[in-house]
Amino acid sequence: MKNTDAYFDPYEEHGMLKEGQFRNLSGCAVAGVIDRSGGVMSGEGMIEAISVMHDRSNGLGGGFAGYGIYPHYKEFYAFHLFYDGKDAQSETEAFIGRHFEIVYSSEIQTRKLPAVTDEPLIFRYFLAPLPQKLARSHLDEREYVARCVNRVNAQIEGAHVFSSGKNMGIFKGVGYPEDIGRFYRLEEYAGYAWTCHGRYPTNTPGWWGGAHPFGLLDFSVVHNGEISSYDANRRYIEMFGYQCTLHTDTEVITYIVDYLIRRRGLTLEETAHVVAASFWSTIAEKEESTRRQETLLRRMFPSLLVTGPFSIILGYTGGLMALGDRLKLRSTVCAEKGDIAYIASEESAIRKISPDLDKVFSPAGGEPVIYELYDREAVQ
């Protein structure tokens, strides 16, 4: 009997197939690009790149993050929200109004596509914390904003803040990533950096909030892999006020990054050596100063070691970081052409938008590759 399920059984009609005769659709797709000179690019290039890796996702999630896309509102926090209905929107807007000045708000413009259905209400707000509220909170501004995001996501049913940084925005949903990009009309946006993701969920259902990227403030994470340390990581990070309401490993990685960099003051390289820490035997063979530093990081943050196969791209104001697990169980390719740097799951995705490259390489497991603007102060 012919298989009509959504998940194709490669053995049903042809018997046991060998390697090379069937493509195992088990890996998500990630990609990123940054113009280190600060030049801007539309989202069209990332749509083209991710479309090459169409078979790495299954239509249950796609998304993009763009940096530098809101220059006229760059001083304000840009909140992107999903609402299940008007009641959730009214409750959330009342909460926002009690904690922020709403500089501008609107529905995010989209285009109707047959491939993208059942979309929620999608709105955007440019916000500034109310000075009196901020002063009474005794928090710094970014912590104040982060707590407001967590409160909406944990306490207001039917509302979800999925983007909350300055001069950046996340756009995601249920569908193939190239369709999601066109749904959000990303060819009409211009930014100095973009990341994107095609999802193939293995443990969670496909829904709009569960698509990648995951974000908090200006951090965004796209991820290909399977985090076996999820419960240990989640239990630890929730001790510091984070609430993992989405029950997915990528959400936890996003909070780990925020905790280590923003709250503990670690550098990107130090964060990488916590998340993808080397084996003790490997650390023992390193030069003394490096050995002492990595030993200290492993002992300080043992519960934030992320185990299992993964490849992530971290976006932040002024840069991108690629990082893979220490055993290199998920592919990552980096490339450069002049001022522009690329990261992707497959080299073919990069060559789709930049065929003639100056440099192509695959990073070592557990070693971060960091690309930043030459003048980061220009976007602070």
d(CA 82, CA 323): 29
With 70 as the cut, is the pLDDT of residue 24 above it?
A: no
Residue 17 lies in a domain: no
Q: Which domain holds residue 211?
A: 29-379
pLDDT(14) > 60? no
Section 266-290 average pLDDT: 96
Is 334 catalytic? The answer is no
> pLDDT grade, residue 336 (50/70/90)?
very high
Confidence band of 204 (pLDDT split at 50, 70, 90): low
In tens, the pLDDT along 151-176 reads 999 999 999 999 999 999 999 999 99
Tell me the mean pLDDT in the region 195-214. 84
Q: How far apart are CA 119 and CA 173, in angstroms?
A: 8
Does some domain include residue 358? yes
The amino acid that residue 130 corresponds to is: L
In a domain, 273, yes or no: yes
**What are 323's strand-pairing partners?**
312
Query: Which pLDDT score, from 0 to 100, does residue 205 have?
Result: 66
Q: How many CB atoms within 10 Å of residue 112? A: 8
- Give a yes or no: residue 263 inside a domain: yes
Domain contains 148: yes
The total number of structural domains that make up the chain: 1
Amino acid at 25: L
Query: Looking at the domain assignment, is residue 275 inside a domain?
Result: yes
Q: What is the pLDDT of residues 70-92, one digit of tens each?
A: 999 999 999 999 999 999 999 99
C-alpha to C-alpha distance for 228 and 250, rounded to whole angstroms = 12
Q: Is residue 187 part of a domain?
A: yes
**pLDDT for 22 beyond 60:** no
pLDDT one-digit tens code per residue, 108-157: 999 999 999 999 999 999 999 999 999 999 999 999 999 999 999 999 99
Edge-to-edge order in the sheet of strand 159-163: 100-107, 121-129, 77-83, 159-163
Helix extents (H) in the chain = 44-52, 86-99, 131-137, 141-155, 177-183, 230-237, 249-258, 268-275, 280-284, 288-300, 347-353
Closest CA to 274 of 229, 316, 317: 229
The string of pLDDT tens digits covering residues 286-320 is 999 999 999 999 999 999 999 999 999 999 999 99
DSSP codes, 88-151: HHHHHHHHHHHHEEEEEEEEPP---BTTB-S--EEEEEEEEE-HHHHHHHT--HHHHHHHHHHH
In 10 A of CB 268, how many CB atoms? 18
Say whether 319 sits in a helix, a strand or coil.
strand
Amino acid occupying residue 10: P
C-alpha to C-alpha distance for 142 and 72, rounded to whole angstroms: 20
pLDDT value at 184 more than 70: yes
**Could you give the CA distance from residue 15 to residue 116 in angstroms, rounded to a whole number?**
35
At position 191, the amino acid (one-letter code) is G
* Greatest extent of the chain over all pairs of C-alpha atoms, in Å: 69
Peptide bond into 129 cis (omega under 30): no
Q: Which H or E run includes 173?
A: strand 168-173
Spatial separation of the C-alpha atoms in residues 96 and 98, rounded to whole Å: 5
Tally of CB atoms within 10 A around 13: 10
12 Cα distance to chain centroid: 36
How many of the other CB atoms lie within 10 Å of CB of 201?
17
- Whether pLDDT at 7 is above 60: no
Asked, for residue 103, whether it belongs to a domain, the answer is: yes
Q: At 33, which CATH number?
A: 3.60.20.10
Structure tokens that stand for 24 in this block: 């195992």
Asked if residues 191 and 69 have their Cβ atoms less than 8 Å apart, the reply is yes
Spatial CA neighbour of 344 closest among 33, 8, 47, 77: 33
